[in-house]
Structure 1
Amino acid sequence: MNFDDLNISDEIKKAVGKMGFRELTPIQKLAIKPALNGTDITAQAQTGSGKTIAFAIPILQKIFVPDRSPQAIILCPTRELCMQVAGEISKVAKNIKKLKVLAVYGGEPIGKQTRVLKKGVHVVVGTPGRVIDHIERGNLDLIGIESVVLDEADEMLDMGFRDDIENILTGTPCQRQTLLFSATMPVEIRRIARKYQKNPKFIKVRDDAKNIPKITQYAFRTNHKHKFDDFIRLIDAYDIKSALIFCNTKKGVDFVFKGLKKKSFSAEALHGDMNQKHRDIVMNKFRNSNVRFLVATDVAARGLDISSLEFIINYDVPGNYDDYVHRIGRTARAGKTGYALTLVSKEDSINFNNIKKSSKARIAEKKIPSDDEIEEIKNKRVLDEVKKSIKVDNLQEYLYVIKKNSSEDISTEELAAALLKKLREN
């Protein structure tokens, strides 16, 4: 099924096509049609599954543009996700004249948001706390709300937003449509669904090979004493150019960050003690590839979406399977492939074994490579590139140079070996 098969406006079809989307993802196939018909939805969908488009299209399809009051509210756990979702919805709405989308979140002066709300906004994307703030100040009237979306609902509950979410839902018209999206489906999410939705359609994308993000998952047994050195070995062995590295504590983040800096790696740290301005600077550096490694706690990394991120490293094993899913879901976005590497010390064994039992995908256990093995891996990496070049490149000019410089004293094999040495040293 592709977007042309949907009963939606030409403006939306054109915008989605320009965004490069043709076929619907599994969550879009299951969610868009019932949502267009006004059905409430509770969907279990991973980050990066295409769920933003799955709720953006039904919301935008029914916006009445001449009415400049808010008609839809999307609640997100973090300001970063708010900005990302608002940006995506704005792209889908690009061809709908005079339709306004606004992101509201903390850490930014409320006056600017207030002025935009007073001028008229159709779709509000916000963190629960800032949305409540605008409601209490009289800036945001809920009387015309026709759609409410809870995006990454499990993370919002983990962050303590339950009361704010319930207050917002209670304040919206009872005939509204409620769309709930969550990577995991704990008891509290199900309770909210029962209480605030009307005969919702429950959707869970089947975990078959086609729908699981293409994440290669490896675990490496280590011990506390040599953990950091083993971590550096993995960076070396896998030739990791950039990675998001998770630690369980702020102390752990600082330790790994300082260790990377001592080794002259380009790195930044992210945890809850930092103010929002500093967090934004660090995240933008990482997003724009101005820093190689970002070391973070789970809470600090929420809402961080890097479409091209190839590696996630769990320096510490997370406390449960849900947290593991959230972490590794930061890679292999939008159909790309990715790697999740997890260091497992003796103290982590119980948590890791529980995660492994819960995981539907295989987490392969591998040994930390030795110095000799790392050298062999590096040589193989260069030679693989050389073999690829032999197949696809025109090498006549270079073959002539090699033949010209080989002799009885210097064989072509020796020339190749010396060239490999020079490449490795550089």
Structure 2
Amino acid sequence: MDSFSSFPMREELKQALADLGFETPTPIQQKVIPYLLSEPKDIIGLAQTGTGKTAAYGLPLLHHTDVNIKSVQCLVLSPTRELCMQIQTEMQKYGSQMRGLRIAAVYGGVPIMGQIRDVRANPQVIVATPGRLIDLLERKAISLESLQYVVLDEADEMLNMGFREDIELILKNTPAEKKTWLFSATMSNDVRNIAKRFMKEWQEFSVAAANVTNENIDHQYFVANHHNRFETLRRLLDFAPGIYGIIFTRTKQDCQEVSEKLMKMGYHVSPLHGDMDQKMRSKVMERFKSRQLQAIVATDVAARGIDVNDITHVINYELPDDPEVYTHRSGRTARAGKSGICMSIVSPKQIGNIRQIERLVKQKFHKTDIPDGAEVVRKRLFFYMEQIANAEPKDEFAKIYYDSMHDQFANVDKDELIRKLIWLQLKDTIDAYSDSEDLNAGFERKGGAAGNSGGSRFTRLFINLGEKDGLNSQRLLQFITESTDIEANMIDRITVRDMSSFFNVPTDAAEYIKEHLSNKKFKTRKVRLEEADQPRGGSGGEGRPYAKPGGGGRFTGERSYGSRPPSSSGGSYGGSKGRSRSRD
């Protein structure tokens, strides 16, 4: 089928896709969607991240959802909170025209009570990470008795992260007559075993991985706190004085606001978004192609018609929801055999999104420091000096104005003349950056590590290493500091247990530490690092609470979670031999 409009699905979905500008399905969507619309049986879909899997299962799920039934009909399991939130956002877009549709996302790292309220609002679709879903089931805050469809998204990744037992426990406690749709980048033995145990006779769909990125693109990312995003963009523009590029925003409102701010500050930019009529958009493109603009600020839909070969930079003011969109954005540069740079401004919490995109484009991204004021001035100084050195004045200009120029500067020393000329070019930049702050998020800041100030907040992290790995507090501290190059005094309240440990770090250092420790190996074990949830009724604890013995719940006797000591105020919890781990 050539377009989404040709699929036999409900009109509300077609309207939403048309509003989003979606026209042509990807290969996995072309194979899977028609089958699931007509015969919603068990399937396995094999496709790489970023090939459009969310729509491949999300559209059929919504097509079969009855909005008049106020219970959970569809469950999507995903390995990370970032992907979980992304799936919820995408499915809400697809179902925007379906009145009465509710989609809730549940994942670790945030207080559970807000998510309990969300699931008690009777959503038809739940998107969840395995650990947090089990927490909700153990608390009897959610029921899966009416479940009709289960999707395992990135199943191989969930299994690699150690969620096999969690997945099995969840699937055991879902209705036998449900349909299971498993999506994975690879068909490993672990994935096939899950399929054999919990799926009936299935249909398998597979698409080959595409070469989705240009090797001539330098992928860079800059980590800034969200409120410093615009200042970071300004600094990147100033640090690239010869830029000829596109700045991508996620929304039309951001597009307009960012471009207006930049124009007021003297930057030669213009917006390009869907609310502009065709005449205005054509005028902007004419100015851009003639180099009257150094950059355009554009939304993804509006940028589809841009066909320019000499673009030097693509800047993601914010990462797109769909990693595949990133490849379309970055592909605007490095055309016709040339090289280009794709810069992304991300918050510390979006490091996981960068890793997702890295897997898609099969290239390593370079974490780059946001330049300080001195670096910006120096970069622009060399740029202007190179411009002067390479300038070729027309002969007519010299003949007409030589005498006047000679008379004016006859008594001015050559070095003094150069200083004056450069000063005129750089004085605004020097004034702007005379007292500029460090915009880099994280703990690597001027004046010492973050976390030393009195107002610093801390995050508690879980690591899947413990006493059985030969660790004590000192050895764990040594492993962390040697693996991340951070100072030991930034790590506090280390708790080492049999098979897991916990420790506190400054909140703005947490993402950096997770990035540098995750997937490392300690002896033969692959390291997994996550944020630990705070238990109900206090702080400082960690892990998942045990189901109360003898409570009669569906999960009693299946497995125990957490390793908090018995509470003196009542309630029974497992002892020190229980499994301790953080929730997703």
Structure 1 residue identity aligned to 2:397: N
Partner residue of 1:96 out of 95, 98, 103: 98
Query: For the residues of structure 1 that align with 2:227 and 2:80, how far apart are their CA atoms?
Result: 18
Q: Are 2:329 and 1:330 equivalent residues in the alignment?
A: no
Give CA deviations for 1:64-86 in whole Å, capped at 9, x if unaligned. Answer: 11111100110111111111100
| Counterpart among 351, 355, 363 of residue 340 in structure 1 | 363
Secondary structure of the residue aligned to 1:119 is coil
Task: Give the Cα–Cα distance (whole angstroms) in 2 for the partners of residues 327 and 80 of structure 1.
Answer: 10
Tell me, yes or no, if the aligned pair for 2:147 and 2:178 is still in contact at 8 Å. yes
1:124 partner amino acid: I
Conserved 8 A contact 1:42-1:179: yes
The verdict on how the C-alpha distance between 1:404 and 1:102 changes in structure 2, with shifts beyond 3 A counting, is: farther
Is 1:201 aligned to 2:228, yes or no?
no
Give 1:167's match in structure 2, choosing from 161, 169, 176.
169
CA, structure 1 residues 406+185, in 2 after alignment: closer, same or farther (shift >3 Å)? Answer: farther
Contact kept in structure 2, 1:154 and 1:185, CA below 8 Å: yes
- Counterpart of 1:148, as a letter, is V
Displacement of 1:193 = 1.2
1:106 Cα shift? 0.7
Alignment of 1:12-411 (within 5 A): 12-36=13-37, 37-207=39-209, 211-213=210-212, 215-217=213-215, 240=218, 243-244=220-221, 267=223, 290=232, 305=323, 307-308=325-326, 310=330, 330=357, 340=363, 404-407=396-399
Q: Report what 1:363 is aligned to.
A: none
SS at match of 2:48: coil
CA spacing shift, 1:124–1:267, aligned 2, 3 Å: closer
- Superposed displacement of residue 287, structure 1: 9.0
Paired residue type of 2:363: A
| 1:2–1:22 CA contact under 8 A, matched in 2 | yes
| Bigger radius of gyration among the two | 2
Query: What one-letter code is carried by the residue in structure 2 that aligns with 1:136?
Result: E
Deviation digits for residues 296-316 of structure 1 (CA, Å, limit 9, x no counterpart):
xxxxxxx99584374799xxx
Q: CA deviation at 1:119?
A: 2.1
- The match for 1:299 is none
| Highest RCO, 1 vs 2 (Cα 8 Å, sep ≥ 6) | 1
Q: Point out 4+ residue stretches in structure 1 off by more than 6 angstroms.
A: 285-289, 326-329
TM-score by structure 1 length? 0.57
Q: 2:10 is matched with which residue?
A: 9
Aligned mates of 2:130, 2:200 — CA distance in 1 = 22
Offset of residue 285 of structure 1: 7.8
- Going from structure 1 to structure 2, the CA distance change for 1:41 and 1:290 (only over 3 Å counts) comes to farther
**What is the CA distance between 1:185 and its match in structure 2?**
2.0
- Structure richer in helix, relative to its length: 1
Distance 1:165 1:332, change over 3 A: closer
Shift of 1:340: 2.7
| Contact 2:49/2:359 (8 A) holds in 1 | no
Aligned partners of 1:29 and 1:329: how far apart in 2?
Answer: 23
The offset of 1:191, in angstroms, is: 1.0
Are the structure 2 counterparts of residues 339 and 408 from structure 1 closer, same or farther at C-alpha, using a change threshold of 3 Å?
Answer: farther
Percent identity of paired positions between Structure 1 and Structure 2: 34
Q: Do the aligned partners of 1:82 and 1:125 also contact (CA within 8 Å) in 2?
A: yes
Task: Give the aligned partner of residue 564 of structure 2.
Answer: none
Compared CA separation, residues 212 and 286, structure 1 to 2 (3 A):
farther
The structure-2 alpha-carbon separation of the partners of 1:125 and 1:328, relative to structure 1 and needing over 3 Å to count, comes to closer
How far apart, CA to CA, are the structure 2 residues paired with 1:154 and 1:6? Answer: 29
Query: What is the aligned residue count?
Result: 282
CA distance in 2, matches of 1:194, 1:287: 48
Deviation of residue 217 (structure 1)? Answer: 3.8
Normalized against structure 2, the TM-score is what? 0.43
What amino acid is aligned across from residue 107 of structure 1 in structure 2? G
Q: Deviations over 1:192-236 (max 9, x none)?
A: 1121112111111034xxx432x2347xxxxxxxxxxxxxxxxxx
Q: Secondary structure at the match of 1:149?
A: strand
In 2: Cα distance, 1:332 partner to 1:20 partner:
26
Letter in 2 for 1:4: S
